[in-house]
């Protein structure tokens, strides 16, 4: 049964999020201690919009995505929080279900993966089986979520490959992943993600290890598909330039926590949190003087078994206030319309 948070409706409401993450906490329990990979994340995702999640490696971005899909591996588990998904039920009415209450391996959660939410993995070379053609893997995904025959599924796979801009899809469908370039593999990964017409697409570092030209092509492809299908996209990256180019809203994460979130223009033109400002200052500028040293963020992310007390960023913060930042953890509170920040500079 679906857990309803609001009454079922015949049509979606435009200003309501298709996905709402509320105070999500995902921990890994290991012999050495507890790793709080996600430690209180809250954000909304809207149809036809792109939410960018940004932060350094190890800040919990990918674990957040895996938590949404309920594919947290190993000793990890969702400790608390809610992940509300608005989806169309068999009756045609829209209902709301808390994904954290579903069996991760149950039939309903498995139907949600692909049908409602799809994931583009960070490294397509390791995501495809080297023993099967890319076409067979797309066909398998199609038939898993539909009643198509093998022939119909193959034709559908060819259409998807053509949709994502792969030349000669009738031939490429019978090739293996190692026969394709990095850019083509990423396009095939997008085609597989779109095979069941999902409403939400999670792209985990979709342009990693791609050259600048190919990166621009992949991002443009995602925008085109979003415009055509009204997809909600969650774009996970450490590249602020990619966020500036593609995102409508931004979530800045540090050590498993959301330290700032808001519309992309406000985040880039009026960043509030010292970590957000540091990330933006570290971006090279074509207006900078020649041979000028790039700005860096002091120190490094603390070891997950040795998290600092108080604000998680205080050990690296240029505006650290002793007796405050190292004692208490700031809440995520509004500082402007639709802009929230977790910092004692704005909240006592």
Does residue 3 sit within a domain? no
Q: What is the number of alpha carbons within 13 Å of residue 305 lying toward its C-beta?
A: 5
User: Computed from CA positions of residues 282, 283, 284, 288, in that sequence, does the dihedral angle turn out positive or negative?
Assistant: negative
The label of the residue with tokens 């069941």 reads 196
Does residue 172 sit within a domain? yes
Distance between CA 122 and CA 305 in Å, rounded?
A: 25
Same domain, yes or no, for 230 and 336?
yes
Same domain, yes or no, for 177 and 234?
no
Does residue 348 sit within a domain? no
Model pLDDT, residue 296: 83
Does residue 222 sit within a domain? yes
Does residue 155 sit within a domain? yes
Q: Are 119 and 127 in contact (CB under 8 A)?
A: no
Residue 284 is classified by DSSP as: -
Same domain, yes or no, for 216 and 193?
no
Model pLDDT, residue 3: 41
Same domain, yes or no, for 214 and 323?
yes
Q: Domain span at residue 186?
A: 128-197
Average pLDDT value for residue range 171-182: 91
Residues 6+ apart with CB under 8 A from 341: 259, 260, 272, 273, 332, 333, 335
Model pLDDT, residue 90: 66
Q: Are 308 and 302 in contact (CB under 8 A)?
A: yes
Same domain, yes or no, for 202 and 280?
yes
Does residue 347 sit within a domain? no
Q: Are 3 and 89 in contact (CB under 8 A)?
A: no
pLDDT tens readout for residues 279-335: 998 887 777 777 777 788 888 888 888 889 999 999 999 999 999 999 999 999 999
Write out the two tokens for 291. Answer: 């041979």
Q: Are 175 and 134 in contact (CB under 8 A)?
A: yes
Tally the domains of the chain: 2
Q: Are 130 and 120 in contact (CB under 8 A)?
A: no
Q: What kind and span of H or E run contains 279?
A: helix 274-281
Same domain, yes or no, for 109 and 212?
yes
Same domain, yes or no, for 144 and 216?
no
pTM: 0.89
CATH number at residue 297: 3.40.50.300
Going by C-alpha positions, the residue among 185, 183, 181 that lies closest to residue 214 is 183
Distance between CA 150 and CA 148 in Å, rounded?
A: 7
Does residue 213 sit within a domain? yes
Same domain, yes or no, for 37 and 84?
yes
φ/ψ of residue 44, rounded to 5: -120, 150
Q: Is the pLDDT of residue 198 over 70?
A: yes
């Amino acid at each position: 049964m679906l857990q309803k948070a609001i009454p079922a409706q015949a049509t979606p409401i435009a200003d309501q999020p298709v996905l709402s993450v509320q105070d999500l906490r995902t921990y890994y329990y290991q012999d050495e201690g507890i790793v709080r990979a996600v430690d209180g994340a809250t954000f909304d995702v809207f149809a036809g919009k792109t939410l960018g999640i940004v932060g350094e490696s190890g800040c919990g971005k990918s674990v957040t995505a895996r938590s949404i899909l309920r594919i947290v591996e190993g000793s990890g588990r969702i400790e608390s929080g809610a992940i509300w998904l608005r989806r169309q039920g068999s009756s045609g009415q829209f209902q709301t279900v808390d994904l954290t209450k579903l069996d991760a391996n149950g039939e309903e959660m498995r139907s949600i993966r692909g049908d409602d939410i799809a994931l583009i993995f960070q490294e397509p070379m390791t995501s495809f089986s080297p023993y099967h053609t890319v076409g067979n893997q797309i066909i398998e995904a199609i038939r898993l979520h539909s009643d198509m025959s093998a022939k119909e599924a193959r034709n559908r796979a060819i259409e998807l490959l053509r949709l994502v801009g792969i030349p000669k899809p009738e031939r490429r469908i019978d090739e293996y992943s190692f026969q394709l370039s990095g850019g083509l593999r990423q396009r095939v990964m997008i085609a597989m993600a779109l095979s069941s017409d999902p409403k939400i697409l999670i792209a985990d570092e979709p342009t990693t290890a791609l050259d600048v030209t190919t990166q621009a092509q992949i991002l443009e492809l995602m925008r085109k598909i979003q415009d055509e299908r009204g997809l909600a996209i969650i774009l996970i990256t450490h590249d602020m330039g990619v966020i500036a180019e593609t995102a409508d809203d931004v979530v800045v994460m540090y050590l498993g926590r959301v330290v700032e979130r808001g519309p992309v223009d406000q985040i880039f033109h009026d960043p509030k949190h010292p970590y957000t400002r540091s990330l933006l200052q570290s971006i090279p500028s074509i207006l900078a003087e020649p041979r000028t040293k790039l700005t860096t963020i002091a120190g490094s992310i603390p070891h997950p078994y040795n998290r600092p007390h108080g604000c998680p960023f205080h050990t690296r913060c240029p505006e650290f206030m002793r007796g405050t930042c190292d004692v208490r953890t700031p809440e995520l509170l509004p500082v402007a319309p639709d802009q929230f920040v977790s910092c004692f500079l704005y909240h006592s």
